[in-house]
């Protein structure tokens, strides 16, 4: 069997759907532009801030299932935050013994979520991210320090967080592979803070993140913080992950 070359592949293969969660709210422009949204679409804004953790993303995220309808775009995240420190490595996010779970299997994806952050040492984190028998955490926003996600390349790390219900991570800085995996999968939205928010916020604080203004609002403390613009990966995140981006860029057929 002849190996398909890249160009012939594009003529032979048909793409059935785009399952990657769509956080885009901009139409694709150019791969090299650093784009911040110039206009936000008409979406209902959150007029009342409720501490209920269930009030979160505007976007729905189809997981492990085909979806022909693109999800509504996200402009904000709202929920209760869980705060961790520096150098949270992938062994803490999802210990290796759980890596036999294959994320593309819906049952195992859900199970993976139940083990998210289970590796955090108890003495340092007495308030656990998730309690036993839970599949979804009440914390939908993760706030971290430096070098978040260091260690292994296991994509199970951002996937477990996403499966557990984390919508966004706000860290001072990221380890490269974790950041990349977050962007490629679209499982969690990786944001960078200007300050050490892990020292400014406490687990349980109610947070809103306004993407358009790159702003994080801590309703519990009443303080606001600037976030860093998303940078070069903006177009990839906006497209909804590496596959969606590649389709928009014409690298692979739609």
- b (16+ CB within 10 A) / e for 108-141: bbbbbbbbbbbbbeeeebeebbbeeeeebbbbbb
Pick between residue 204 and residue 234 the one whose CB is nearest to another protein.
234
- Interface residue with another protein, options 75, 92, 193, 214 (CB under 8 A): 92
Binding-site member from 91, 134, 200, 213 for another protein (CB under 8 A): 91
From candidates 29, 50, 60, 153, binder to another protein by CB under 8 A: 153
Give yes or no for residue 137 binding another protein (CB under 8 A).
no
Asked if 153 and 43 count as a contact pair (C-beta separation under 8 A), the reply is: no
Total residues belonging to the chain: 254
Confirm or reject binding of residue 155 to another protein (CB under 8 A).
yes
119 binds another protein (CB under 8 A): yes
Q: CA–CA distance from 15 to each of 81, 84, 185, 194 (Å)? A: 37, 39, 17, 40
Binding mask 209-248 for another protein (x = CB under 8 A): -------------------xx-xx---x----xxx-xx--
110 vs 35: CA distance, rounded Å:
34
- What does the angle CA 84 – CA 224 – CA 145 come to, to the nearest 5 degrees? 20
Binding of another protein at residue 132 (CB under 8 A)?
Answer: no
252 is a contact residue toward another protein (CB under 8 A): yes
Q: Dig out the tokens for 77 from the structure.
A: 């995240």
- Judged by CB under 8 A, the chain residues 30 through 89 that form the site for another protein are 31-32, 86-87, 89
- Compute CA 176 distance to the chain's CA centroid, rounded to the nearest angstrom: 15
Q: Which stretches within the chain are classed as H helix?
A: 6-12, 90-93, 106-114, 156-163, 176-185, 197-200, 234-239, 242-248
With binding defined as CB under 8 A, does residue 175 bind another protein? yes
Candidates 117, 164, 177, 211; binder of another protein (CB under 8 A) is 177
Which residue ranges make up the site for another protein (CB under 8 A)?
Answer: 1, 3-6, 9, 13-16, 19, 31-32, 86-87, 89, 91-92, 95-97, 99-105, 119-122, 146-147, 150-155, 158, 173-177, 180-181, 184-185, 192, 228-229, 231-232, 236, 241-243, 245-246, 251-252
């Amino acid at each position: 069997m002849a190996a398909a070359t890249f160009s012939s592949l594009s003529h032979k293969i048909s793409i059935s759907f785009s399952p990657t969660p769509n956080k885009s709210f901009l139409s694709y422009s150019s791969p090299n532009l650093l784009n911040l949204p110039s206009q936000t679409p008409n979406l209902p804004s959150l007029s009342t801030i409720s501490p209920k953790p269930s009030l979160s993303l505007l976007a729905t995220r189809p997981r492990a299932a085909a979806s022909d309808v693109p999800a509504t775009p996200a402009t904000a995240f709202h929920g209760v935050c869980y705060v961790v420190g520096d150098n949270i490595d992938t062994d803490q996010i999802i210990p290796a013994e759980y890596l036999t779970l294959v994320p593309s299997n819906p049952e195992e994806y859900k199970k993976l979520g139940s083990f998210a952050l289970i590796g955090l040492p108890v003495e340092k984190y007495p308030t656990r991210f998730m309690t036993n028998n839970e599949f979804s955490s009440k914390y939908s926003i993760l706030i971290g320090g430096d070098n978040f996600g260091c260690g292994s390349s296991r994509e199970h790390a951002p996937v477990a967080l996403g499966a557990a219900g984390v919508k966004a991570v706000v860290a001072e800085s990221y380890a490269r592979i974790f950041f990349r995996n977050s962007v490629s999968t679209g499982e969690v939205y990786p944001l960078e803070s200007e300050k050490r928010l892990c020292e400014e916020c406490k687990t349980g604080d109610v947070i809103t993140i306004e993407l358009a203004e790159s702003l994080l609002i801590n309703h519990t403390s009443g303080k606001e913080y600037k976030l860093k613009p998303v940078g070069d990966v903006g177009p990839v995140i906006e497209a909804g992950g590496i596959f969606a981006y590649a389709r928009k860029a014409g690298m692979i057929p739609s």
